[in-house]
Amino acid sequence: MINNISLKEIGKMLQDAESILLFPHENADGDALGSCVALCTTLRNEGKRASVYVGEKPADYISFIAGDCCVTENLREENPDICLCVDCSEESRIPGRLNAYNSGKVRLTVDHHLATGGFGDYYYIDEKAAATGELIYDIIREMGAEMSRPAAEALFVAISTDTGNFRHSNTTPKTHRMAAELLEAGIDRNRVMVELYENVDLRQLKVKAAALDEMEIFAGGKGAITRVSRDMLDGAGASDEHGETVIDMLRDIKGVEIAAVLKEKSDGRIKVSLRAKSAGRVNEIAAKFGGGGHVKAAGCTLEMSPEEALETMKREITHSLEGISGGNK
Amino acid sequence: MINNISLKEIGKMLQDAESILLFPHENADGDALGSCVALCTTLRNEGKRASVYVGEKPADYISFIAGDCCVTENLREENPDICLCVDCSEESRIPGRLNAYNSGKVRLTVDHHLATGGFGDYYYIDEKAAATGELIYDIIREMGAEMSRPAAEALFVAISTDTGNFRHSNTTPKTHRMAAELLEAGIDRNRVMVELYENVDLRQLKVKAAALDEMEIFAGGKGAITRVSRDMLDGAGASDEHGETVIDMLRDIKGVEIAAVLKEKSDGRIKVSLRAKSAGRVNEIAAKFGGGGHVKAAGCTLEMSPEEALETMKREITHSLEGISGGNK
C-alpha cells in the first residue's frame, strides 16, 4: 500500500468538485471500465459533470455496462476540477491521454497494481484489494452517495472479472461481502453472468480444440505444453486474442503442475505464457529469457524456431518441476 | 419451504443427542458430502459420536474433504439417537440405507430440493437456499458450536459446487456472506479451488473437442446441437461421465440461446441434455418427449436413430426459438 491521501479525503474532494474526468488504462478490462462507469454514474447522480475519457471503444464483452458514460477526445471536458486515473498508476498506460490528464486542476490515481509508484498529485494504491472496484466501492460509501443499480452492476463486473468470478486467490472476505451488497442493490445478476461468461466466441473454442490436439503431457504428467500457430488461428478464422484462454485449459488438467503455451506472433517471434498450479514458480523460468510476471502466472518472448522453443521450454519446465517435492496433494 | 421444525430446534435436538448418523443421497455431490462432513466434524468437536453413513466411496473430486467421517455398513452406529438425511428428501435416494435410517430414535431431513415432501419425523426443506450447506451452516450457528477449519472447508465445497462457484442464479447475498465467514475461518482457499476446478480429466477435454467438431449452429445462430457418440467416447478412452460438460460449452457460445447434446447410451437409447441461456424454456421441449427439468436445464430420453433424434431436436428447438422475441440483448 502506498498513498498520500485517504479514500475518505478522495470522497470529500469528489463531493467538492463540479467536473470530473475519469481515465481507465488502455485496453480497459472489466475492472478499469467497471470502476470508472460506477464512479461516473454516481457522480452524475450527485449533480456533477462526469465522464469516462477512453482512448478506444470498450471491448465487446464489457460494453454492456458503459451506458452513456464514455467520451472520446472531441467531447471531453476541458480543464476539469479533477482528473482521476483508475486501475492504473503508470503514465505509459494512458498514452495519447496524458496531456488531458495533466490538464486537471487536481490529478488523482486509484489503483491496486503496486508498480513504480503513484503519479499525479494524490494517489491511493492498495495491492491487497482484489480489484480497483473494491476501492471505488469504498469511495462511493465515503462520499455518502447512494449505490444505484447501474453503479452496482458496473462494480460487480469489476470484481467478478478481476477475480475470475471469485475463483482466483486475490478473492477475500471483503470481496464476497461487497458482492452481497451489490446483489442487494438490485442488479440483474443473470444478465451480467450471461454477458461475461456465456458469450464465448466460437473461434476461441476452435483454437482451444486445435491446441489440445497438439498438446504434449510430459515430466510424468506434471508438465503440459502446446502451441498456437498462425495456421491454427487462420484455420479457425481467428486472431491472437482468441488463443488467450488456451493456457487456462492446460493448467486446469488433473495432475499438471506447470503449463506453457507457445504463441507464434505475426512477426515470427514466440510469446510464451506460463502458469503454475500449486508449488511451481514460473516467474523464475520467464526471467531466464528476459520475461517476468508472478509466481503462478508469467511470460516471456523467444526469438527461435517453434521446434527449438518447444524443446527449450520442456527442458526448463522439467528442470523446474524437479525442484518441487509434491505438488498440491 | 416446507417444515415441521425450525433450524433452532434441530440445533437443540443435536446438542441433546449423544449419537448421530448422517445420510447423504446416493452419488453424493459436493453439497451432500460437504454438508454431512461439516456437521459430523462439528458434532464430534461437541463430544458426540457422529458419522456419515455412505453407500459408496465418495467421488474422487470431493474425497479430499471426507477426512475420517465416512463409514459403510459394518462400522455404522446401531440405533443412533438421531438419523439425519442431508440434501435429500426422497426415500428412493438412499437405497440400501433406508432400514438404517429408520433405525434412528428420531429421524430428520434437511434439504433444499422441494420434492414430494419431507420424510422422517421432522423435516426442514428450503428451496430458496442455494445449497443444503447454507442450512447446515445455520444449524451449526444455532447449536452455538465453533466453526472449525475442516467444517468451514467442507461447507465452502458445498456452496461452491452447488452454485458453480457463485455463478448460477441460485447464488444469493446470503451465499456470499457465508463464503466471507468461511474464508475467515482459515480455510485453504487455493487448495479447494485446485481440487474442485483445476483437476479436469484429460478425457473430458478430448470428448469436448470431438463434440465441438460435430457441432451444428442453426436457427440463425441461436441454436447449437451436437452429439456424444460411443465412438467419440471410445476414441478418447472415456466413459459417459466425461461427456457431461459438453452441454455447458455449447450454451456458453455467443449468440446461442438454446443448446442440446445427444448422448448415445450403451443400450442404444439417446439421452438429450437441453439448456437455455436467457429467454428459452427447455423444460417445455423435454416434456414433449416424456422428460422434465427446469426452465433453463432439462432433459429427456429418445428411442430413435441418432439421425432422427438430431433432426427432431433441431426442429423442436427452432420452433421453441420462434416463440422468443429477442433473447438476452
Please answer whether residues A242 and A203 qualify as being in contact, where contact means their C-beta atoms are separated by less than 8 angstroms.
Answer: yes
Record: contact A253-B166, CB cut-off 8 A: no
Beta bridge partners of A298: A274, A293
First-to-last C-alpha distance (Å) of chain B = 34
Please answer whether residues B109 and B120 qualify as being in contact, where contact means their C-beta atoms are separated by less than 8 angstroms.
Answer: yes
Listed residue (A192, A213, A202) closest to A237, CA to CA: A202
User: Rounded distance, CA A68 to CA A44, Å?
Assistant: 11
User: Rounded distance, CA B166 to CA B172, Å?
Assistant: 9
Residues of chain A with pLDDT under 50: 326-329
Can you give the pLDDT at residue A76?
86
Record: contact A173-B190, CB cut-off 8 A: no
Record: contact A165-B169, CB cut-off 8 A: no
User: Phi/psi of residue A200, each to 5°?
Assistant: -80, 130
Mean pLDDT over B87-100 rounds to 91
Please answer whether residues B325 and B299 qualify as being in contact, where contact means their C-beta atoms are separated by less than 8 angstroms.
Answer: no
Record: contact B193-A252, CB cut-off 8 A: no
Report the mean per-residue pLDDT for chain B: 94
Can you give the pLDDT at residue A152?
98
Record: contact A254-B200, CB cut-off 8 A: yes
Helices within chain B (DSSP H only): 7-16, 30-45, 98-102, 132-143, 149-162, 173-184, 189-197, 202-213, 230-235, 246-251, 282-288, 306-322
Buried b (16+ CB within 10 A) or exposed e, B291-316: bebeebbbbbebeeeeeebbebbbeb
Record: contact A328-B195, CB cut-off 8 A: yes
Please answer whether residues B281 and B292 qualify as being in contact, where contact means their C-beta atoms are separated by less than 8 angstroms.
Answer: no
Give all strands of the β-sheet with A216-218 in edge-to-edge order: A216-218, A223-228, A258-264, A270-276, A297-302, A292-293
Record: contact A183-B167, CB cut-off 8 A: no
Beta bridge partners of B278: none
Nearest CB to A212: which of B183, B184, B205? B205
User: Rounded distance, CA B147 to CA B307, Å?
Assistant: 54
Tell me the nearest-neighbour CA distance from A245 into chain B, angstroms.
14
Strands A82-86 and B82-86: unpaired
Give the residue numbers in B contacting A (CB under 8 Å), as ranges: 165-167, 169, 171-174, 176-177, 179-181, 183-184, 189-191, 193-195, 197-202, 205-206, 208-209, 212-213, 217, 249, 251-254, 277-278, 328
Nearest CB to B194: which of A165, A198, A277? A277
Structure confidence at residue B329 as a pLDDT band (50, 70, 90): very low
Question: Which residues from B are below 8 Å from A253, CB to CB?
Answer: 200, 202, 205
Structure confidence at residue B328 as a pLDDT band (50, 70, 90): very low
Cα–Cα distances in Å, from B315 out to A141, B297, B298, B311? Answer: 52, 18, 17, 6
Chain A residue with minimum CA distance to B198: A252
- Long-range pairs, A321-325, Cβ under 8 A, ≥24: A321/A219, A321/A222, A321/A223, A321/A257, A321/A258, A321/A280, A324/A222, A324/A257, A324/A279, A324/A280, A325/A279
Can you give the pLDDT at residue B113?
87
Cα–Cα distances in Å, from B218 out to A206, B67, B100, B310, B317? Answer: 17, 48, 52, 12, 9
Query: Angle formed by the axes of helices B149-162 and B30-45, to 10°?
Result: 160
For A305, other C-beta atoms within 10 Å of its C-beta total 11
Structure confidence at residue B73 as a pLDDT band (50, 70, 90): confident
The angle subtended at Cα B64 by Cα A260 and Cα B125, nearest 5°, is 120
pLDDT score of B90 more than 90: no
Record: contact A200-B254, CB cut-off 8 A: yes
For A77, other C-beta atoms within 10 Å of its C-beta total 19
Question: Which residues from A are below 8 Å from B193, CB to CB?
Answer: 167, 169
What single string gives the DSSP state of each residue in A65-127? G-TT-EE-GGGSPSS-SEEEEES---GGGSTT-HHHHHTSSEEEEEES---S---SSEEEE-T
Nearest CB to B165: which of A166, A190, A278? A166
Under DSSP, is residue B263 helix (H, G, I), strand (E, B) or coil?
A: strand
Can you give the pLDDT at residue A117?
67
Record: contact A198-B277, CB cut-off 8 A: yes
Biggest CA-to-CA distance, chain B: 63
Under DSSP, is residue B147 helix (H, G, I), strand (E, B) or coil?
A: coil
Query: Picking from A36-50, A312-326, B5-19, B184-198, which range would have the lowest pLDDT averaged per residue?
Result: A312-326
Nearest CB to B180: which of A177, A191, A278? A177
Can you give the pLDDT at residue A116?
65
Record: contact A173-B167, CB cut-off 8 A: no
Give pTM, 2 decimals: 0.92
Give the residue numbers in A contacting B (CB under 8 Å), as ranges: 165-167, 169, 171-174, 176-177, 179-181, 183-184, 189-191, 193-195, 197-202, 205-206, 208-209, 212-213, 217, 249, 251-254, 277-278, 328
Grid coordinates representing B241 are 461421465
Question: Which residues from B are below 8 Å from A181, CB to CB?
Answer: 173
Structure confidence at residue B85 as a pLDDT band (50, 70, 90): very high
Structure confidence at residue B35 as a pLDDT band (50, 70, 90): very high
Listed residue (A22, A3, A13) closest to A100, CA to CA: A22
Listed residue (B205, B157, B213, B219) closest to B182, CA to CA: B157
Listed residue (A128, A151, A125) closest to A52, CA to CA: A151
Nearest CB to B249: which of A169, A201, A205? A205
Grid coordinates representing A240 are 491472437
Question: Which residues from B are below 8 Å from A191, CB to CB?
Answer: 278, 328
Beta bridge partners of A124: A3, A110
Cα–Cα distances in Å, from A53 out to A59, A78, A139, A143? Answer: 15, 11, 20, 22
CB-defined contacts A:B, below 8 A: 106
Please answer whether residues A67 and A78 qualify as being in contact, where contact means their C-beta atoms are separated by less than 8 angstroms.
Answer: no
Question: Which residues from B are below 8 Å from A206, CB to CB?
Answer: 212
Listed residue (A238, A242, A240, A262) closest to A250, CA to CA: A262
ipTM of the complex: 0.92
pLDDT score of B282 more than 80: yes
Chain A residue with minimum CA distance to B190: A169
Torsion angle (degrees, nearest 10) of CA B31, B37, B42, B48: 130
Record: contact A200-B171, CB cut-off 8 A: no
Please answer whether residues A235 and A213 qualify as being in contact, where contact means their C-beta atoms are separated by less than 8 angstroms.
Answer: no
**B161-180 pLDDT tens trace:** 999 999 998 999 999 999 99
pLDDT score of B294 more than 90: no
Please answer whether residues A28 and A132 qualify as being in contact, where contact means their C-beta atoms are separated by less than 8 angstroms.
Answer: no
Question: Which residues from B are below 8 Å from A172, CB to CB?
Answer: 183
Question: Which residues from A are below 8 Å from B191, CB to CB?
Answer: 278, 328
Gyration radius of chain B's alpha carbons? 21
Can you give the pLDDT at residue A99?
94
Can you give the pLDDT at residue B116?
65
Mutation choice for A interface testing from B174, B198, B214, B247 by most A CBs within 10 A: B198
Structure confidence at residue B222 as a pLDDT band (50, 70, 90): very high
Can you give the pLDDT at residue B327?
43
Record: contact B176-A177, CB cut-off 8 A: yes
Nearest CB to A209: which of B194, B209, B278? B209
Can you give the pLDDT at residue A325?
60
Residues belonging to chain A: 329
Record: contact B181-A195, CB cut-off 8 A: no
Tell me the nearest-neighbour CA distance from A108 into chain B, angstroms.
31
Give all strands of the β-sheet with A49-53 in edge-to-edge order: A2-3, A122-125, A106-111, A82-86, A19-24, A49-53, A70-71
Record: contact A193-B253, CB cut-off 8 A: no
Chain B residue with minimum CA distance to A189: B169
Can you tell me which residue has the cell 437443540? B12
First-to-last C-alpha distance (Å) of chain A = 34
Question: Which residues from B are below 8 Å from A192, CB to CB?
Answer: none
Mean pLDDT over B221-226 rounds to 98
Structure confidence at residue B86 as a pLDDT band (50, 70, 90): very high
Beta bridge partners of A224: A217, A259
Record: contact B212-A191, CB cut-off 8 A: no
